[in-house]
């Protein structure tokens, strides 16, 4: 299905509310909106907001794209070393999620991990969470952060964001670079 699908699918075990069985079919049109094939550094995607009556559109040269670099983190107080990784996403849009690799035995990880945020559009904020990878059990949350929409677009962001974990008083900072490919186009 990675190339999409168009056709009719027979539904199993349907009935019209009586003892009599009814044959039912569903017409489907499936178009890929995100590809997991090829080099992730060069894979591009553009998605219009479906929740507001939009439609899927790929290859729109004029749609702004958001590029995020998760540079690193530092400054949190934990006992011993951790195996940190970071998750970044647009809240409520799971297809936008990116994950850094795990850095083993560090309190000051450097990921320098750059990806395009799929399903992002102007007006969306970004949510970040840093976790300690615990093999064989649930990963520990080290901190969360949010970057408000007005700090992202149409301006670039390059700096530190405070990490907070409610109730545990852990603090640290996440170092992030965020740029839209349209940043500065109006100034040319």
pLDDT tens digits, one per residue of 28-63: 656 544 433 344 444 444 444 444 444 444 445 566
**Tell me, what DSSP letter sits at residue 186?**
G
**Tell me, what DSSP letter sits at residue 106?**
B
Quick check: pTM over 0.75? no
Where do we find the tokens 């990806």? 115
Contact 131, 85 (CB under 8 A): yes
pLDDT tens per residue, range 131-175: 999 888 999 888 899 999 999 887 799 999 998 875 555 578 999
CA–CA dist 65, 38 (Å, integer): 19
Contact 175, 73 (CB under 8 A): yes
- pLDDT value for 107: 85
């Amino acid at each position: 299905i990675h190339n999409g699908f168009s056709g009719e699918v027979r539904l199993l075990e349907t009935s019209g509310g009586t003892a009599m069985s009814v044959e039912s079919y569903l017409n489907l049109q499936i178009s890929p909106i995100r590809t997991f094939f090829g080099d992730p550094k060069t894979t591009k995607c553009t998605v219009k907001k479906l929740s507001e009556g939009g439609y899927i559109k790929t290859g729109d040269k004029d749609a702004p794209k958001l590029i995020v670099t998760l540079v690193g983190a530092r400054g949190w107080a934990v006992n011993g070393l951790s195996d940190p990784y970071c998750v970044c996403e647009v809240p409520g849009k799971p297809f936008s999620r990116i994950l850094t690799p795990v850095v083993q035995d560090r309190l000051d990880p450097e990921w320098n991990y750059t990806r395009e945020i799929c399903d992002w559009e102007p007006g969306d904020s970004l949510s970040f969470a840093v976790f300690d990878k615990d093999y064989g059990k649930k990963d520990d949350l080290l901190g969360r952060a949010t970057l408000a929409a007005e700090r992202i677009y149409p301006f670039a962001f390059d700096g530190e964001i405070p990490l907070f974990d409610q109730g545990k008083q852990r603090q640290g900072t996440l170092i992030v670079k965020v740029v839209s490919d349209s940043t500065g186009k109006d100034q040319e």
